[in-house]
Structure 1
Amino acid sequence: MKDSKLRSERLEFYAEDMERLHTELDSFLELSKARCALLIDRDGHLVTRRGDAVQSSADSISALVAGSFAATKEMARLLGETEFSVMFHQGKRDSIQLQLVGERTLLAVLFDDRTNLGLVRFYAQEAALRLQDVFESIVGRRGGGELASNFSDVGQAALDELF
């Protein structure tokens, strides 16, 4: 991928963005009674985590979640779907639901027998919509990301005026 494309697609998070994401995730965890929620970009990078600490590396889990979602996207394509937006894995003790949030982010929810899949799915769907709104506002704020053609001259004039 070209550097310019990477720069144009990258999201920059400010403190207020993280606060909004954390508020949404904390509310989701309280309502669903899930243990942990991770926001992961589709490249496998952890954006943020809320709730109980993950037993193993959150970075490793993030990479595996993104890989699992990518493999499932290919399976969906082979079955005639564009992609599957929600996945669920059930274990003896713990379960995980993976859900697409917008075009570029995944919500991974870890939960156990303190709750049930129905509650997690219901509240995750609502949370995904609210999180998508947060991401859209971040993308909307981004603007062109390009410096003005006269940036150097304006900067030099401002420095000259200052000193």
Structure 2
Amino acid sequence: MRVLEVWISNTIYTLIALFAFAIALYALRTLIRTELRRLRGYQKLATIFYSIAFLILGLTLLNIWGVLSLLISFAAALGIIGVIFGFAIMEVWLSNAIAGVSLIFDKLIEVGCTIKIDGTKGKIIQISLTSTRLATDDGKLMIVPNKSFRERPYLIIEFPRGEEQKTRRRR
């Protein structure tokens, strides 16, 4: 019995909200036709006003039927998950970015160098903020996170300018 009373009450509130919305929409349409028509680009402004009005109607109806609080809780949960994911990604990205800046400014390796890292030999074709791309001897592309150059030893086999062979161990 209680469910039926709530349903009837919500239906009445919904009808009242729709009636109030129809009156507000009529007033808005009249305002746009009489006052805003003189403005340049009034169509865009009218679209914005209509969108806001329908958004308010939708939120009102969701609130009447008790769905709005559920959606807010869901959005809050998604926001928390996004923040956690952001912090997790930031740690990895930030460490690679700092190592990338170091690689770019230290000039220990540069585009055109031939190196060997993790048992794979290749020529550096690009150094970006977060990764370094190598063209391997067998024609494949190897993408190395920049923090690998700080954490693992690598061998510099050949410089592009013909400098003598150099080795570099970093820990």
TM-score, normalised to structure 2, is: 0.26
Greater length-normalized contact order (CA 8 Å, ≥ 6 residues apart): 1
TM-score, normalised to structure 1, is: 0.27
